[in-house]
Structure 1
Amino acid sequence: MSDADDVPVDDGRHVHRIRAHGHEHVSGEHQSTVELTSDDWLTPAGDCIVGIEADTTPADFDQTFVSACQSADATITAEFTVQTNDGTLTDTIRARGDPELTFEGDRSLVGRTSDYVDDRTVFVDADGAATDLDQDLIDALADGAELTLTLTVEPGAN
């Protein structure tokens, strides 16, 4: 991870970028989670996974970023961006942080519409999941496009 990947912004926000690749089995059908994995493979059963070979897992995040996410009042914005021959495709999911987030997962990162937390969870109570992402973006990922996930945390009062 380079320093440019975890950047505190002057207004107190923290920004982290994760890069991954699409795969032919990306379907974006899961209704409650969205996931990136560091694995270099994907089966059709992984309907929440939208990117493989992620260059960052939760265990790699800077502690200041993790601390910002551990506020129940933190707002986390997940922006999914894909470059195609026809232009840039972007979609956004908004969620919140949670004091129970550990950022200990070393294989994959997961965003959830529920408040369930495990070592892979990076945000909860999201307003969308894999199934809610723009279908053109999902199609581009199924064609193997590169994905940039930009996580922006606006810390809460805690």
Structure 2
Amino acid sequence: MSNDSATLTETVTAHGHENISAEHESTFEVTSDDFLTPAGDCIVGIEAGRVPESFDEAFVEACQHSDSTITVTLETVEHRDRIEASGSPDLTFESNRSMVIRTSEYVDDRTIAVKADKAASDLNRSLVGALADGESLTLTLTVKESR
């Protein structure tokens, strides 16, 4: 029996910041901005090396199916967390600044996944602590492409 799907991956590197609190209860975000105020309680990484508009077209298309499962892995050197989310036909991947994973089905140009099983407040607190200490973050997004 042949495999009817391919796994597509996008990787983004970012940096932690002393103002990372990860207290938001419905989203988490990684931004290319080089600063973070205490009000940014959903942000878990800044100075992202890539933004959604630079993602591969095949990856974007695979995420634009409501039955797609998008796996998000957040990692520092010693800490890791994994989030399962869904795709949506409404995802545009047009943002040139930030990427947001949401527990809701709301979509704007920054949204890259919906119906996530975790928001910022649910993330591994050791991971959050490492990011608040300024550690580097690797965000890996994986989606299966139907063929």
1:41 aligns with 2:35: yes
Identity %: 57
Tell me which residue corresponds to 1:125. Answer: 115
1:56 aligns with 2:50: yes
**Aligned partner of residue 141 in structure 1, secondary structure:** helix
Offset from partner CA, 1:80-100 (integer Å, 9 cap, x none): 0001xxxx2110110000000
Offset from partner CA, 1:44-79 (integer Å, 9 cap, x none): 000000000001111111110000000101000000
Contact 2:5 2:146 in 1 (8 A): no
Normalising by structure 1, report the TM-score: 0.88
RMSD across aligned positions (CA): 1.3
How far has the Cα of 1:154 moved from its partner? 1.7
Contact 1:75 1:156 in 2 (8 A): no
Paired residues in the alignment total 144
Tell me which residue corresponds to 2:127. Answer: 137
Cα distance between partner residues in 2 of 1:112 and 1:148: 19
Select which of 71, 85, 100 maps to 1:95. Answer: 85
Tell me which residue corresponds to 2:74. Answer: 80
Where does structure 2 lack aligned partners over 5 or more consecutive residues?
A: none
Normalising by structure 2, report the TM-score: 0.95
Where does structure 1 lack aligned partners over 5 or more consecutive residues?
A: 1-9
Tell me which residue corresponds to 1:21. Answer: 15
Q: Residue type of the partner of 2:139?
A: L
How far has the Cα of 1:156 moved from its partner? 5.2
Change (3 A) 1:27 1:137: same
Contact 1:72 1:156 in 2 (8 A): no
1:104 aligns with 2:98: no
How far has the Cα of 1:11 moved from its partner? 4.7
How far has the Cα of 1:155 moved from its partner? 3.3
Contact 1:73 1:156 in 2 (8 A): no
Contact 2:26 2:119 in 1 (8 A): yes
Q: Which runs of 4+ in 1 moved over 3 A?
A: none
Q: Residue type of the partner of 1:48?
A: C
